[in-house]
Amino acid sequence: MSDQTEALRVGVIGARGRMGTEVCKAVDAAADLELVATVDEGEPLSALPDAGADVVVDFTRPDVVMDNLRWCVDQGVHVVVGTSGFTPERVGEVREWLAAKPGVGVVIAPNFGIGAVLMMQFAAKAARYFESAEIIELHHPNKVDAPSGTATHTAELIAEARAAAGLGAQPDATAQELAGARGAEVEGVRVHSIRARGHVAHQEVVFGGEGETLTVRHDSVDRVSFMPGVLLAVRKVVERPGLTHGLDSLLD
Ligand SMILES: NC(=O)C1=CN([C@@H]2O[C@H](COP(=O)(O)OP(=O)(O)OC[C@H]3O[C@@H](n4cnc5c(N)ncnc54)[C@H](OP(=O)(O)O)[C@@H]3O)[C@@H](O)[C@H]2O)C=CC1
Ligand SMILES: O=C(O)C1=N[C@H](C(=O)O)C[C@H](O)C1
């Protein structure tokens, strides 16, 4: 009997995009994974189960990802989702779909960069000790959504930690404001989005307290930074039915 295990069969939606291209290369280069199908806009999702995909990876757009995800879950295919736009409502909806498909696993990660995951954890840990917290995220100008999914998720984590610590609203005397000058408000945390060439994906979380500030910063300078996280999720999702939100529990 051979001791070789069969390669996990992987399909990619959004395969010709910036992230999809990297994912295809990373899957191709992994001995335990086989790239069996790629789908882009206008191409049928049926190519994925037709090719026998065990796991599908989605890096598309916030306005199409829910339809893709629903379709894959209905087909009983595991999914790893990197596409942004996952509000708590969307996450709840996915959980409901999965309750009706007990064998299927979905991993949704706002950011697959290991450094980014740590940056969010550090920010969540620091949040209770500072009266002020604001987020600055910087991305390439082709990004279609703002604020980024990472910034939104970080704001939610900070808000949760502040609430648990009994912190109230942040001090801010602004009485006159040019619209947008104070950024977008996510769960009481201000988020400022910069879009400029020369950037890939970067975030600073700036905390302020009595006589001190703390800045936690992460930089993805190349999209290869996301690949170890994506491949980890692809390998793990098949043994994790239900929803895994964020990479944290896969890293532990
Ligand atoms: N979680 C993470 O770690 C990361 C998440 N992201 C997120 O991933 C997403 C993709 O980013 P990026 O690769 O830069 O974007 P791109 O625009 O480069 O890629 C998106 C791809 O999806 C395709 N697409 C659009 N609609 C459909 C559809 N209905 N079915 C199949 N394919 C479709 C696009 O095709 P076409 O161009 O022809 O429309 C394009 O090839 C974004 O939401 C981004 O925020 C990005 C980096 C890391
Ligand atoms: O569009 C991007 O590039 C990225 N999108 C994700 C987000 O919205 O947080 C992850 C990373 O920031 C890169």
Closest Cα to atom 42, ligand 1: which residue? 83
- The interface pTM score, or ipTM, of the predicted complex is 0.99
DSSP structure class, residue 5: P
Domain, as residue range, for 136: 114-221
**CATH at 129:** 3.30.360.10
Please indicate, yes or no, if residue 66 is contained in any of the structural domains: yes
Please indicate, yes or no, if residue 200 is contained in any of the structural domains: yes
What's the pLDDT tens digit per position in 14-43? Answer: 999 999 999 999 999 999 999 999 999 999
Q: Is 46 annotated as a binding residue?
A: no
Instruction: Confirm or reject: Cβ of 38 under 6 Å from ligand 2.
Output: no
Please indicate, yes or no, if residue 170 is contained in any of the structural domains: yes
Distance CA 243, CA 205 (A): 27
Q: Is 16 annotated as a binding residue?
A: yes
Same structural domain for residues 69 and 103? yes
Q: Is 14 annotated as a binding residue?
A: yes
Closest Cα to atom 38, ligand 1: which residue? 41
pLDDT at position 85: 95
Instruction: Confirm or reject: Cβ of 150 under 6 Å from ligand 2.
Output: yes
- The stretch 103-120 carries a mean pLDDT of 98
Same structural domain for residues 62 and 131? no
- Report the domain count for the chain: 2
Please indicate, yes or no, if residue 103 is contained in any of the structural domains: yes
Same structural domain for residues 96 and 158? no
Same structural domain for residues 89 and 122? no
**Which residue in 214, 218, 217 sits closest to 132, CA to CA?**
214
Q: Residue 2: pLDDT above 60?
A: no
The ligand minimizing its distance to the Cα of 61 is 1
Q: Residue 186: pLDDT above 60?
A: yes
143 is catalytic: yes
Instruction: Confirm or reject: Cβ of 108 under 6 Å from ligand 2.
Output: no
Residue 7: burial class (beta carbons within 10 Å; 0-12, 13-18, 19+): middle
Q: For 127-222, where are the alpha helices, taking DSSP H only?
A: 149-164
Please indicate, yes or no, if residue 3 is contained in any of the structural domains: no
Q: Residue 1: pLDDT above 50?
A: no
Residues 6+ apart with CB under 8 A from 190: 134, 135, 170, 182, 183, 184
The ligand minimizing its distance to the Cα of 11 is 1
At residue 122, φ and ψ (nearest 5 deg) are -65, -40
pLDDT at position 3: 47
Same structural domain for residues 189 and 240? no
**CATH at 13:** 3.40.50.720
Residue 122: burial class (beta carbons within 10 Å; 0-12, 13-18, 19+): middle
What atom of ligand 2 comes closest to residue 19's alpha carbon? 3
Same structural domain for residues 85 and 17? yes
Residue 246: burial class (beta carbons within 10 Å; 0-12, 13-18, 19+): middle
Please indicate, yes or no, if residue 1 is contained in any of the structural domains: no
pLDDT at position 4: 63
pLDDT at position 5: 81
pTM over the 0.90 mark: yes
What's the pLDDT tens digit per position in 116-133? Answer: 999 999 999 999 999 999
Instruction: Confirm or reject: Cβ of 84 under 6 Å from ligand 1.
Output: yes
What's the pLDDT tens digit per position in 65-75? Answer: 999 999 999 99
